[in-house]
Amino acid sequence: MLLRDLLEAPDLRLRVLVGEDALDRPVGGVFTTDLLDPRRYLSGGEIVLTGLMWRRGPADSEAFVSAVLAAGAVALAAGDAALGSVPGD
């Protein structure tokens, strides 16, 4: 399945915030986490889902995104229930 396929599913109500040029990446799995550094649980190719419970400030966002990227995840999806919106950082 490609990221694009997930975005085309209206029931998921997903929207792209950044990375529209990467929608043809294949998704190899899904991993849900609220750990600040989930690298040890990722093997690459996943879409990572998070509720942002790890975030206390912009530095945490940098650490989390860096860890997910280093692990080889193909996408990051964030829920906005905890913070009301996905922070710009």
pLDDT tens, position by position, 22-53:
999 999 999 999 999 999 999 999 999 999 99
For residues 1, 5, 70, 58, the Cα torsion angle rounded to the nearest 10 degrees is -160
Single-letter residue type at 34: D
Q: What is the reported pLDDT for 47?
A: 96
Distance (Å, rounded) from C-alpha 62 to C-alpha 21? Answer: 21
Q: Read off the pTM.
A: 0.88
CB-based contact 86:80 (threshold 8 Å): yes
Question: What digits encode the pLDDT tens for the residues 47-70?
Answer: 999 999 999 999 999 999 999 999
83 — pLDDT class (breaks 50, 70, 90): confident
Please tell me the predicted confidence (pLDDT) of residue 89.
Answer: 84
